[in-house]
Structure 1
Amino acid sequence: AKKAAQAQFDIVVAVGGDGTINEVVSGLAPLEQPPYLGIVPAGTVNNLARVLQIPLDIDDAIANLLQGHLQPLDVGQVNDDYLISTMTLGILADAALNVTQSEKQKWGPLAFLNEGVHALAKHQHYPL
């Protein structure tokens, strides 16, 4: 994404889920004049696409992209890390990090629920 911006492309399209979009945003956010960000949701949950009301069907998402529906997007920054959509801390963050790509492909969003239940059962506490 950063290389595309430096090559002066007008738009960078992220095809994937929230993690993929976050990685693309991390490449664009530090730039003074980043290109537009296009999103074609192809992830497991697609939280950001849902919030932005981007169609989840890939063909419809591409049609939406071609129509140029612009929406503002807030980007958070914690130290040198950028984030979009949501920030998760503690048990839920641990659960999300522990879900493998194969589990997401096999179980979809239920993979996060399963891992969340296991994380809650550990009764782990986190200092902030």
Structure 2
Amino acid sequence: METKSPTRPTTRPLPRQAALIVNAHSRKGEALFAQAKEKLEQAGMELLAAHAIKNPERMEETVAKAIADGAPMVIVGGGDGSMSGTVDQLVGKDCVFAVLPLGTANSFARTLGLPLDLDGAVDTIANGQRRRVDLGMIDKDYFVNAASLGLSPMIGKTVPHKLKRYLGRIGYLLWAVKCSVGFRAFRLTIDDGQQQWRLWSTEVRILNGPYHGGVELSDHADVDSGEIVVQAVVGRSKPRLAWDWYAKFFKLRDRDAHTEEFHGKAFTITTRPRQRISIDGEVLAKTPVVAKVAPGAIEVAVPAESQA
């Protein structure tokens, strides 16, 4: 059953001071860092710091330092992996998380209704409003948008960086075809503490928002629902998994025919055999895990009602 709460904008205005931290290793980050800095300053933002990070492993420590130095807002430029890798530092802090969508899929930006072009994203940061949103969690690791197990982590772990950098979502699709050759279905168990479900599956998506890989996968997941959504592609058929992605990509009428959804605060997820878990595009965990929601965990910058 769907249990969405209304959008939760807050009344305090967005800060006029911020730290800008861009993943220069992302698809567009290196090329757009200088433009982003210039446009933000032209829009009236005072940048307390500005960093183009070529080593993605330094993103989290750079964000942590900016918060520790007192930045009231941190602007992170990159893809969903950059957002997920840095958002932990914002939890429990009086600091706004602002997004420059410079990645391949930009699922979190799509969920928040952000413009995907640089000018629109800058306008949101300069003239938008605050919104308090949920985060998902895999064990103790926060994520902004989605985690997955099955074929997606195999793709994410092995896809050549240049393929996704230059071909974007088409590159992922081509690599998915290659990876599917040796992939096998697995036994899945989902337990919410009161009920247990057992089924065969080829892919499981753990959703804090509707998008994964830039594709809208669920009509019921959202960042202010107070719930996590577990969506399983059921059965053992790889063609059925391919059809599910195709149907959801093109928003066909029967796009949910091969999936089951489970809604709740927390689920224990186990598989046979064990499966790697991709968290916002980065392979960081392995089953069994506890997937849960962290309600109202951070404040983000979103378009004002007049912009929307």
For Structure 1 versus Structure 2, the TM-score category normalised by the shorter chain is 0.7 to 0.9
Instruction: For residues 57-98 of structure 1, give each alpha carbon's deviation from its aligned partner in whole angstroms, at most 9, with x where no partner exists.
Output: 101100111113223332122233221111111211111222
Q: Are residue 111 (structure 1) and residue 175 (structure 2) matched?
A: no
Residue 80 of structure 2 corresponds to: 18
Judged with a 3 Å threshold, the aligned counterparts in structure 2 of structure 1 residues 34 and 90 are, in CA distance, closer, same or farther, namely farther
Please tell me whether residue 53 in structure 1 is matched to residue 93 in structure 2. Answer: no
The one-letter code of the counterpart of 2:112 is L
Q: How many residues align?
A: 126
CA distance in 2, matches of 1:110, 1:73: 30
Match of 2:16 in 1: none
Q: CA RMSD in A?
A: 1.7
Q: Distance in 1 between matches of 2:94 and 2:148?
A: 26
Q: How far is the alpha carbon of 1:126 from its aligned partner?
A: 4.6
The DSSP-based 3-state class of the residue aligned with 1:88 is strand
Which structure 2 segments of 5+ residues have no match? 1-62, 188-270, 272-308
Asked whether the equivalents of residues 52 and 71 of structure 1 are also in contact (C-alpha less than 8 Å), the reply is: no
Contact 1:13 1:39 in 2 (8 A): yes
Q: Higher mean Cα deviation, 118-127 or 10-19? A: 118-127
User: Which residue number corresponds to residue 39 of structure 1?
Assistant: 99
SS at match of 2:137: strand
Identify unmatched segments of 5+ residues in structure 1: none
Looking at both structures, which has the greater relative contact order when contacts are Cα pairs under 8 Å and sequence separation is at least 6? 2
Kept in 2, the 8 Å contact 1:18–1:48? The answer is yes
Structure 1: distance between partners of 2:72 and 2:85: 18
Q: Which amino acid aligns with 1:75?
A: L
For residue 95 of structure 1, what is the aligned residue in structure 2? 155
- 2:159 is the counterpart of 1:85: no
Letter in 2 for 1:12: V
Structure having the higher Rg: 2
| Residue 64 of structure 2: aligned partner | 2
- Give the structure with the higher percent strand: 2
What TM-score does the superposition give when structure 1 sets the normalisation length?
A: 0.87
Q: CA deviation at 1:53?
A: 1.0
Query: Using the alignment, how far apart are the partners of 1:3 and 1:126 within structure 2?
Result: 42
Q: Which amino acid aligns with 1:54?
A: L
Q: Distance in 2 between matches of 1:16 and 1:85?
A: 14
Partner residue, 2:12: none
> What letter corresponds to residue 24 of structure 1 in structure 2?
T
Q: 2:130 matched to 1:70?
A: yes
Quickly say closer, same or farther: Cα 1:73–1:98, change in 2 above 3 A. farther
Q: Which structure shows the bigger proportion of residues in helix conformation?
A: 1
TM score, norm. by length of structure 2: 0.39
Identity of aligned residues (%): 26
